Chains A and B, each alone.
Chain A
């Protein structure tokens, strides 16, 4: 197919941007992962697969991959179920629908950094006048150092509530859109056939009709879980670095590649490739399981 001048005029700038800012960096990163690339992006020392071998035997990196696989196992179904439940509720109510939809969606518009700081500094700070500790105080409990204590690991409460608050609205909207596309006559036909309102129509009409939406939501949730960075970095990170627990792979790679005291793009890139392959693998597996 031949493209005219107009085609390149409109597509050209975007394609060029994509090439320069997306494809070239991805390719470059792949290239760097085979080199000893310390403090340089034009390395000369080819090391083959050594960076990969190092990363695959690097205990902290493997631990972060493990932690976030667990995190995904937990946060993906939780967000999914909550978003779906909220969407069903919002879809059902007959008054102020737009209001509720907006209210639940609003947090999505909030910056991750700002929300993290609110969670860390006002709701879950460790001193006696923090919001959570004030509430605990009413019941006579001692203040809890929410983001510090590792036994029990209260920081997960902080991080999970924060992530839910930030993300739920977005997936709620996706589900709402899906729900509104289900033809009303399917329900009417079911009722005539004697299906009960509630569980039966949910199980046999709503959920099957939501399949494409569900697959998309699961996919996005899974990628988001492995890509965790912002709220973790802002809640648990300090100027002395990031603690060894609840450390997302991306944060570990960030410190490896760009950490103060030496940039190591070789190992950082190798880790990024491994993470990409892992996400791709899990996504494919999930797609398989769901569409079976």
Chain B
């Protein structure tokens, strides 16, 4: 499951194809294009992507499968000029500004409107698209129907109801909610902002420099202090084990967990977005998608772009196969996700609806590591130490403002 977790949670340095070929761009002379993937957890994905690449007739393509710390490996290879030609990642503004990525707007053609807008936005920097989304992942709240019924608790639709539910569901050795071993600060910081109608970054400005943000983050503290959170579970939030083993009545985890939860609990579970906090706020689900990108240092940019177009624009059957035959993802193109039978019922259908109506970028391109560290530190101190939320959020906003000023002037 590590692969899905990384996908959503880490800003990818982008992978590159190791363009070891000294080809000068004429192409077709037998030098293969280099394509990189990180190691997907599900069996069959590696064979599938090799099969896709082999079916490309114009140029031979070598697929490199990269287990381990993909992001660091990719980032290093992007610096070196000896990276892959085509790779999967999520674009970061720093890579774009450093000229490491090739804009791919012209690759999309008419298919552009078919891609889910919120997903496309996560691949857009300064108005240009740098990645063709391959597979959508998202996080949501899982709840155990039978336990809620027994406790007389309704599925929560506001943040206060969520806190109340966690408290009331905590009984008989079962905790109300599991939202990560850090007490929810890591995964729920973003959803808390969105629940109050705020965001990380909005129009190149800090999106959470607002007293409401302190209130929303304060709610996470309330949740933590309520005693209803499971803490220190063996597997962290990305794995559904705490939920399926009955250690918690609700858990924040991801779409990828649906098959495992279904297997363990059958129909005894439902899914929800993170609930609304205040008037302007909205229920939300964090989404992210790895996209296919082209290395600006590749000597064969045009060929690489053509290959990306073939793989993720022209061959819709590959996108469907990639998303639904192995793990459990949502195809980024609506024409595919809407007709996929696996996604028309139960939790999966709900997830598709959430992505349509409640999607927020889990890791927007201009949410840099400096801002993320400042924000996560602040949230952690508020949630775990009970530090005053307004001062902490203000300090984090100040740091984010400096960083945005550096980026956008």
Contacts and interface: CB of A to CB of B under 8 A. Distances in A.
B230 A40 contact: no
Given A41-B79, A262-B92, A148 B372 contact: no
Contacts of A41: 79
Nearest to A150: B384
A263 interface: yes
B5 A241 contact: no
A131 B75 CA distance: 40
Interface string A98-129: 00000000000000000000000110111110
Interface in B226-279: 230-234, 236, 238, 242, 247
B335 interface: no
A50 interface: no
Contacts of B75: 39, 258, 263
Contact of B10 (A39, A126, A239): A239
Nearest to B372: A261
B157 interface: no
Instruction: Name, among B232, B247, B377, the residue most crowded by chain A CB atoms within 10 Å (CB to CB).
Output: B232
Contact of B182 (A40, A127, A240): A240
Interface in B84-118: 92-95, 97-98, 100
Contacts of A238: 180-182, 186, 236
A125 B5 CA distance: 21
A239 B6 contact: yes
Interface residues of A, number: 37
B186 A240 contact: yes
A239 B9 contact: yes
Contacts, number: 123
Given A39-B100, A60-B377, A130-B232, A239 B238 contact: yes
B98 A40 contact: yes
Interface in A252-266: 255-256, 258-264
Given A238-B182, A244-B377, A258 B72 contact: yes
Interface string A225-254: 000000000000011110111000000000
Contacts of A60: 373, 377
Contacts of B13: 260, 263
B293 interface: no
A122 B384 CA distance: 23
B197 interface: no
A146 B232 contact: yes
Contacts of B320: none
A200 B146 CA distance: 71
Interface in A128-174: 128, 130, 143, 145-151
Nearest to B92: A261
Interface in B125-180: 173, 180
A147 B11 contact: no
Contacts of A241: 186, 372-373, 376
Interface string B181-203: 11100110000000000000000
Contacts of B78: 39
Interface string B53-82: 000000000000000000110010011000
A243 to B, nearest CB: 5
B385 interface: yes
Contact of B232 (A39, A125, A151, A262): A125
A38 B94 contact: yes
B373 A255 contact: yes
A40 B384 contact: no
Contacts of B231: 126, 145, 148-149
Given A38-B98, A260-B11, 12 more contacts: A60-B377, A126-B181, A126-B232, A128-B173, A147-B232, A241-B186, A243-B182, A255-B373, A258-B75, A259-B373, A261-B94, A262-B369
26 contacts: A121-B234, A122-B234, A125-B233, A126-B231, A126-B232, A127-B242, A127-B247, A145-B232, A238-B182, A238-B186, A239-B6, A239-B238, A243-B377, A244-B377, A245-B385, A256-B369, A258-B75, A260-B12, A260-B71, A260-B369, A261-B11, A262-B93, A262-B369, A262-B370, A263-B13, A264-B370
Interface of A: 38-41, 60, 121-122, 124-128, 130, 143, 145-151, 238-241, 243-245, 255-256, 258-264
